[in-house]
Amino acid sequence: MRYTEKLHAHRLKLMLEKENSCGHCPARLEFDFGSPFIYGFSRNAICISDVCIVCKEFVGIQDEPDCPCDILGKKAISASWKALEEKGYL
């Protein structure tokens, strides 16, 4: 199993339905930065400094070392919902 955009979209929807979803990570088992990455998440291929490249690319962020929530603040939530809709996951 590989951490794909489709899997990311599924886990992102689950995460966004939680209260205070900003600051959580869809690539981690418990959606929390303290929990391990889900099975199939290849740290070398998809992660730099514990930040998910798939997550950043999903909302159109490149060349930034931080999580979308750190870069966009609360706007990361609306950007994620918009990306889910535009990519046909909603």
pLDDT per position as a tens digit, 34-71: 777 776 665 544 555 566 777 888 899 887 778 888 88
Residues of the domain holding 82: 5-86
Q: Work out the mean pLDDT of the chain and round it to a whole number.
A: 81
- pLDDT at position 25, please? 83
Question: φ and ψ at 48, to 5 degrees?
Answer: -125, 125
Residue 90 has pLDDT above 60, yes or no: yes
CA distance 10 to 77: 15
Total domain count for the chain? 1
The 10 Å CB-count burial string (b at 16+, else e) for 28-57 is beebeeeeebbeebeeeebbeeebbebbbe
Question: What pTM does this model have?
Answer: 0.79
Give the C-alpha distances (Å, rounded to integers) separating 30 from 27, 71, 74, 87: 9, 22, 20, 25
